[in-house]
């Protein structure tokens, strides 16, 4: 199922917003066509969907003679998924792998995270 370059897919399309992940291949392909105007039979294109809770993804890909359905679920955390067109962007291979690993696509190295102080009130 790998091509001559060792890559399973040639293009990744992230479909923004929430999707009902109870849908199977036919339902997801209908969304790809109806809402996004893409052809689900585009060979080697991986279409990715995210659920409401952001801890699971589904993907659909046509290989030329069969569909592949991918289901990914994080044990902890959530995917940093774009919820509208303004948040969508083209991803590099490294950014895609960070997204699949459950990390923010923008590396946090060099950015300081300063936690807000916690105020504790005691009852007397």
Average pLDDT over residues 116-122: 51
pLDDT, position 103: 73
- Put the strands of the sheet holding 11-14 in their side by side order: 11-14, 45-50, 56-62, 67-73
pLDDT over 80 (residue 122): no
DSSP character string of 51-105? -TTSSEEEEEEE-SS-EEEEEEE-SSS------SGGG-----HHHHHHHHTTS-S
pLDDT digits (tens, 9 = 90+) for 24-82: 999 999 998 888 788 888 888 888 899 888 889 999 999 888 999 999 888 888 887 88
pTM above 0.75, yes or no: no
Q: Do the Cβ atoms of 11 and 93 come closer than 8 Å?
A: no
């Amino acid at each position: 199922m790998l091509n001559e370059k060792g890559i399973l897919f040639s293009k990744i399309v992230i479909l923004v917003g929430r999707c009902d992940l109870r849908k199977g291949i036919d339902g997801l392909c209908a969304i790809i066509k109806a809402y996004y105007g893409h052809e689900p039979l585009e060979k080697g294109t991986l279409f990715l969907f995210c659920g409401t809770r952001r801890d699971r993804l589904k993907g659909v890909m046509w290989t030329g003679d069969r569909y592949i359905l991918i289901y990914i679920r994080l044990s902890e955390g959530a995917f940093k998924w774009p919820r509208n067109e303004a948040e969508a962007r083209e991803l590099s291979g490294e950014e895609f792998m960070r997204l699949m690993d459950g990390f923010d696509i923008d590396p946090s190295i060099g950015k300081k995270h300063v936690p807000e102080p916690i105020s504790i009130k005691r009852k007397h």
